[in-house]
Structure 1
Amino acid sequence: MKSIVYALSLLSLPVFAQTTSLNLIPQPQSVVLGTGKFTITPQTQLAVLTPIREVRDMVQTNLPGLKINDLAKPTSNITVRLAQPRGAVLGPEGYELIVSPTGIKLTAPQAAGLFYGLQTLRQLLPANRERPGFRFASTVPKATTTIPALTIRDQPRFGWRGMMLDVSRSFFTKDYVKRFIDLMARYKYNVFHWHLSDDQGWRVEIKSLPRLTQVGAWRAPRMGRWWDRPNPVPGEPQTYGGFYTQDDVREVVRYAQERHIMVVPEIDMPGHMLAAIATYPDLTCSGKQVPIYPNGKFYKLEDNTINPCNDSTYLFVDKVLGEIARLFPGPYIHVGGDEAFKGFWANCDACKPVMAANGLKTVEELQSYFIKRVEKIVQSKGKRLIGWDEILEGGLAPNATVMSWRGMKGGTEAAKQGHHVIMTPYQNCYMDLYQGDPSSEPSTYGLNRLTSSYAFEPVPDSVRAELILGGQANLWTESVPTTRHAEYMLWPRSFATAEVLWSPKTTRNWPDFIRRVESHFTRFDAAGINYSRSYLNPFVTIQRQAAIRVNTLGLIVPSLLKITIGHELAGTDLFYTTDNTVPDSLSTRYVQPFVFPKGADRLRIIAYRNGKPVGLPLNIPVADLEARAR
């Protein structure tokens, strides 16, 4: 795939007319509705005006059932052409789609633009053509299909539109990874960030180090909440896990390329390396043999960070990244760099002389020393290094790209130093966080509502916009054990991120976005894809109105709880009870924050829109309210 930095410098097309009557995600850059409509029938014919096989295959895959003519004929109602549209200057991912009563014309300067134009055209077709797995019906329905007359000129706002899948904490098969890529492609994402190694599993075959997958890809099976899972028992069978062979990886990379998606592999280091350390204990300062934990309880107790002061560490890194570089043709390798506990380094006999010889005063500077050496290895393989924003600590490697997850601060600092940045703040972009009130959601941590994902703005005011490559949605899988739950966590929040990264900022419209989301749920139902409606649920925030105190009689007086109830959709009516009865539209209507009554044992809430209940009702015991206030 060509470099994806190009879109940052493209001349933006004017939004010369915008309509809310179409159900497109992401919203195109410009739309003008015409008069009339085009009708597709079983006799409709399609002309692909290029000899490029890739384009012909792409068209046939996305518009099956239509007869393709070898040459443009008078009977061809739909034409697909590789060319720069008249009167427009589009970048390599841009396209023009014109629908008139007499036919459809799709034009783009490069194959990527044609691909995205086809995704838009598919969204204009009715949901009844969808089939499980987002395969399109192979025949045109006998009933006529109409598309409104319109002109769309479109190209992305950002060149980096990514989604990340963590396959270390929960392993997903090659076939599901391809399904994940299919969904990305439908919504015009173009970077698949593949998190292939972590403490809980090593997922990619390294032929020169076969024990990495023989040992590091397997752990004791566990269910339940991440933080409650018991530690492994000595001698316990290591039966949960799996890995991708190098042939698997090549197949996934080809599959992504056919959908104009670049795959970026991540091998996390120097921390998050327990799966490798369980295989090769000498990678650490202590050299201690450790198991692969199915939880995070070991952090700071066991050394999960490789030793940055032994030359053997860099020989290991060179072997791994050498094979990774040959498997992934894209320009980047992600080396993590996040959450590396450095306490074991501070007391390491091998590290003290290295720090002294290199004038390193802190262990943060030692991590910078490590990342700079790793960057040279990455560059020796013809690649560029990406790391999480912790790689800023102690001094940033000269040519590193920073992926900013701890908010926007790290990315802003990196951009001010002249580095390229990918913004992915957890408050907006982490799809494993709670998306609704915790009382009605599967257990996880943190909070990222659909409104937060849609409010994400990747470019801070204080930096040069061209240094912000884009952003991405991240799915960590500590609390995501199945593919169905992965989909539940991703959608519709990944609709929001797709629109933020593709569409002009000025076209963002929350009520209209929700309308379009509901339309796409119909497509997901037809395709058998799971999703969440958590944005329809009420949510609660709690504050202590006064601190716990002791009265004049020496008795403890508990603090009061101030309850605020909210909803993501304006115009929603909220009703609640505190007497353990089931609320309905005749219960107390919420109008302002209130103090939770003394002696009440739970709060129940229900939401109504247009006189009908929506979403899930909440039922929160007082103990949970107290815990949230703490």
Structure 2
Amino acid sequence: MNIPSVGSLFLFFLVHVASAQQPIHLIPQPVDVQPQQGTFTISKTTTISYNQPKAQAVAAMTAQQLNTPTGFGLNAKSGKKGAIQFDLNATPNPKLGKEGYTLDASSKGVVITANEPAGLFYGMQSLIQLLPKEIESKKPASAAWTLPAVRITDYPRFAWRGIMLDVSRHFFSKEDVKKYIDEIAKLKYNTFHWHLSDDNGWRIEIKSLPKLTEVGAWRVQRSGHFGDRLDPKPGEAVPYGGFYTQEDIKEVVKFAQDRNVTIVPEIDVPGHSMAALAAYPELSCTKTPVMVNPGTAFATWYGNGTFKMFQENTLNPSDEKVYEFLDKVFTEVAALFPNPYIHVGGDECYKGYWAQDPGCQALMKQLNIRHVEDLQGYFMNRVEKILKAKGKKLLGWDEILEGGISPEATLMSWRGIKGGIEAAQMGHDVVMTPSTFAYIDYQQSDVDPPIYAMLRTKKSYSFDPVPEGVDAKHILGGQANLWTEQIPTLRYAEYMTYPRGWALADVYWSPKESKNWEKFVPRMEAHFDRADVAQVNYSRAVYDAIIKTSQKNGKLVLELDSEVPNLDIYYTIDDTMPDAFSTKYRQAVELPEGPITLRVITYRAGKPIGHLIVMSRDALQKRAGR
């Protein structure tokens, strides 16, 4: 009789306990996670099966995802006995809805159950995240392909979970767009808002209006900070840009559908139309030819949110040819995108040229309106009738409220949540996407190149799309917006998206009650490691010090903090480089007079973890005056 030694029994106990306590770091956080005893290991003999033809695509996608890093060559087959089993419910489980799922992993295998294929797809994403980070590799990798035993019940809080990508300011290739959609689908986002037109480029082929892409898709080459660039010169070449053919659009739409992502196209009107006017200047009030803007300063912004344009970028609401033009555009756009919505922008529309235009003045008199702002309401109602004729619903930014919109119109609240609250109280459906929480083009810390404002991951994570006193039935969900004035490449788009896109995935999917920043941090850090393997870029700005200053009793006072808990913060003001032997921050500090320079760095467990931040006294003084 072979009696195991005490040492081997103790080792078995440690391994058993370790496997039972293996951390589960899923994003977004599921509704209910119940860890169980044991593990399941995927091998080359593992079988994958599905119980209905509608489940085949998800099962096949799972096999493909597993095969690349493991090299196993697994196949999905019809049946009910797979070690990894995808089952559609014969009788729907009302708790799960259309996108929910259950995942039951034991030492025998994994069973994922859902009412609809979308639920199986999201169950698959959780399955992949339960496996070691090497599962994200794009080539064969070495790992123990083991996942912990667990029972998960999961379904989304909101039906609309979106990310917008602006491809006007910088053109992103079809393959880049597909890669970005694939990444967000893994996080259970189900809506991709595609910002296809603006002042800086028209990106979608309209066959009945060929100059939109022949002219509107191209601009002069410029470098430097957006808004500070040199104006185009007459006759200058326009090599920068690009557009999507209608065949490209169909390919991307199909790719997204396969990942349960709905694409919502945006054609931004009546403002932000300089690229369209470059192609067809007769649609403006002045009829003056313009060029596609390369990122010059073509407006002056005042502190109260108002502005003045130096160049015309608005369509003429009094010209019937404008509506003929839009009918052609939306006829072709509606045919390409099967979702119910077309986003028509409506934001930041400068009305100064309307106020001076005889045709607009005559229209105002005809409509018996006194304020030029009300012309936008007229314009939007005309646009909505065009969309309705195509079987589409109007969706726009919160400015569309200002001129009056029909009860069927849906609104995206971006200037804070005020517009969303007003729209919901009026009975409109609303997507909450306030810049203060969801504009992921904003700086993530003081090391990022400067842009309009700062938005830290912790603040994004704190967002609740349902304001107090608002009926939740009118809040469709939320969305992150990635404007690309300062984002020329997909790698940098990823850097700006993550980890804020991970935080907002939790906000839009997970129960409000489960929100806990301290518990999110280790999940985020696990996804840093997974993103490294997947070759997806991200920012580590969450580790950077937060620098705050104030004036108290004539003194400049410094306060330091961090998003990630339990970091040590070290600083110097004596022109030396800070390290773990420098002054450790413990409480607010009165800074001495004189031309000092602050240098700050964060450490964890004795190792530097954040970026070095350097700030002059003048910069600190300005920060105190905010």
Same fold (TM over 0.5): yes
Pick from 586, 606, 629: which aligns with 2:581?
A: 586
Pick from 555, 567, 586: which aligns with 1:572?
A: 567
3-state SS, counterpart of residue 147 of structure 2: strand
1:526 aligns to 2:533 (yes or no):
yes
Post-superposition offset of 1:230 = 1.2
Pick from 48, 52, 57: which aligns with 1:54?
A: 57
2:46 match: 44
Pick from 129, 153, 165: which aligns with 1:123?
A: 129
3-state SS, counterpart of residue 224 of structure 2: coil
Pick from 15, 27, 30: which aligns with 1:28?
A: 30
Post-superposition offset of 1:43 = 1.3
2:7 match: none
3-state SS, counterpart of residue 391 of structure 2: coil
Q: Quote the Cα distance in structure 1 between the aligned partners of 2:86 and 2:599.
A: 56
Post-superposition offset of 1:303 = 1.0
Pick from 379, 384, 394: which aligns with 2:393?
A: 384
Q: Quote the Cα distance in structure 2 between the aligned partners of 1:565 and 1:144.
A: 42
8 Å contact from structure 1 (residues 332, 386) kept in 2: yes
Post-superposition offset of 1:382 = 0.3
3-state SS, counterpart of residue 148 of structure 2: strand
Deviates more, 1:601-610 or 1:459-468: 601-610
2:381 match: 372
3-state SS, counterpart of residue 147 of structure 1: strand
8 Å contact from structure 1 (residues 170, 480) kept in 2: yes
Structure 1 pair 398–148 and aligned structure 2 pair: CA distance change class (3 A) = same
| Correspondence 1:18-417 to 2 at 5 A | 21-52=23-54, 53-64=56-67, 65=72, 67-68=74-75, 70-72=77-79, 76-83=82-89, 89-132=95-138, 144-299=144-299, 300-417=309-426
Q: Quote the Cα distance in structure 1 between the aligned partners of 2:213 and 2:78.
A: 51
Q: Quote the Cα distance in structure 2 between the aligned partners of 1:586 and 1:63.
A: 47
Q: Quote the Cα distance in structure 1 between the aligned partners of 2:582 and 2:61.
A: 56
| Amino acid in structure 1 at the alignment position of 2:315 | I
Post-superposition offset of 1:578 = 1.5
Structure 1 pair 565–59 and aligned structure 2 pair: CA distance change class (3 A) = closer
1:424 aligns to 2:419 (yes or no):
no
Q: Quote the Cα distance in structure 2 between the aligned partners of 1:50 and 1:251.
A: 26
2:306 match: none
| Amino acid in structure 1 at the alignment position of 2:545 | P
Deviates more, 1:120-129 or 1:198-207: 120-129
2:18 match: none
| Amino acid in structure 1 at the alignment position of 2:110 | I
8 Å contact from structure 1 (residues 48, 68) kept in 2: no
Q: Quote the Cα distance in structure 2 between the aligned partners of 1:538 and 1:588.
A: 14
Write the deviation string for residues 73-101 of structure 1: whole angstroms up to 9, x where unpaired: 76x32211111689763201011111112
8 Å contact from structure 1 (residues 213, 243) kept in 2: yes
Structure 1 pair 278–67 and aligned structure 2 pair: CA distance change class (3 A) = closer
Q: Quote the Cα distance in structure 1 between the aligned partners of 2:94 and 2:30.
A: 15
Q: Quote the Cα distance in structure 2 between the aligned partners of 1:230 and 1:371.
A: 34
Q: Quote the Cα distance in structure 1 between the aligned partners of 2:164 and 2:612.
A: 32
8 Å contact from structure 1 (residues 41, 142) kept in 2: no
Post-superposition offset of 1:35 = 1.6
Q: Quote the Cα distance in structure 2 between the aligned partners of 1:312 and 1:545.
A: 61
Q: Quote the Cα distance in structure 2 between the aligned partners of 1:225 and 1:389.
A: 28
1:609 aligns to 2:615 (yes or no):
no
Q: Quote the Cα distance in structure 2 between the aligned partners of 1:409 and 1:347.
A: 31
Q: Quote the Cα distance in structure 2 between the aligned partners of 1:84 and 1:589.
A: 62
| Amino acid in structure 1 at the alignment position of 2:383 | V
| Amino acid in structure 2 at the alignment position of 1:32 | Q
Q: Quote the Cα distance in structure 1 between the aligned partners of 2:94 and 2:341.
A: 32
Q: Quote the Cα distance in structure 1 between the aligned partners of 2:86 and 2:508.
A: 26
TM-score (norm 1): 0.90
Q: Quote the Cα distance in structure 1 between the aligned partners of 2:142 and 2:545.
A: 44
Matched-pair identity in %: 49
8 Å contact from structure 1 (residues 41, 143) kept in 2: no
8 Å contact from structure 1 (residues 488, 532) kept in 2: yes
1:505 aligns to 2:512 (yes or no):
yes
8 Å contact from structure 1 (residues 44, 66) kept in 2: no
TM-score (norm 2): 0.91
Q: Quote the Cα distance in structure 1 between the aligned partners of 2:218 and 2:76.
A: 52
| Amino acid in structure 2 at the alignment position of 1:449 | R
Q: Which runs of 5+ in 2 are unaligned?
A: 1-20, 300-308
Post-superposition offset of 1:23 = 1.1
Post-superposition offset of 1:38 = 1.7
3-state SS, counterpart of residue 226 of structure 1: coil
Q: Quote the Cα distance in structure 2 between the aligned partners of 1:69 and 1:618.
A: 51
| Amino acid in structure 1 at the alignment position of 2:169 | R
